[in-house]
Amino acid sequence: MGTPGEASDPAARPRAGDAAVDPAAVIAAARERGWLLATAESLTAGAVVARLVDVPGSSAAVAGGAACYSYAAKHRVLGVDAAELERTGAVTPSVAAAMAEGALALYAADLAVSTTGVAGPGPDERGVEAGTVRLGLARRGGATLTRLVHLPGDRAAVRAQSVEAAIALLAAELGLQGSVHLPDDSQER
């Protein structure tokens, strides 16, 4: 796409085989700060929050996760503008941001991550290519950020890598060393 801020540097993109961020480190960092985490998930359908709550003691740091696959669910549960969804589809920076902000409010969390994208096979009805994933990150009292990643592989691989990218984004916001930097594409909104 070539828009400034997109993840166009191959080294900045999560890839199959990259070392995954340990969800236990994310939980520990959130607990240390006294923060609650939340997720708003479309293409990952709850897999991010599931990875987080696999960690013993996660209930002290995870408020909840919303799996909102349909446009109607994104609107009703997370407050994403229904007209925008119909006009632009769900794989946009503003929708990723609105999803994260919706989860932040819904769960009274301190930090929320969202996932929306096209897992495949093939492009969606608007022509967005498989492997195109938008992540959102909302922080209480802070600016909401979005990220664009292009992930290789089949449907299962794209979904699994999306989970890793979302956890890496949480890790980066929590200041964990070794977390993957994903360029900000928030200015697209």
φ and ψ at 97, to 5 degrees? -65, -45
Query: Which pTM value belongs to this model?
Result: 0.87
Mean pLDDT of 1-11: 32
Mean pLDDT of 81-102: 98
How far apart (Å, rounded) are the C-alpha atoms in residues 46 and 49? 6
- Per domain, the residue ranges of the chain are 20-188
How far apart (Å, rounded) are the C-alpha atoms in residues 100 and 131? 20
Band (187; pLDDT cuts 50, 70, 90)? very low
In whole numbers, what is the pLDDT of the chain averaged over residues? 88
> Does 3.90.950.20 match the CATH number of domain 20-188?
yes
How far apart (Å, rounded) are the C-alpha atoms in residues 171 and 134? 17
Render pLDDT for 32-89 as a digit per residue (tens, 0 to 9): 999 999 999 999 999 999 999 999 999 999 999 999 999 999 999 999 999 999 999 9
> 156: which 2 tokens?
């299962």
How far apart (Å, rounded) are the C-alpha atoms in residues 99 and 75? 9
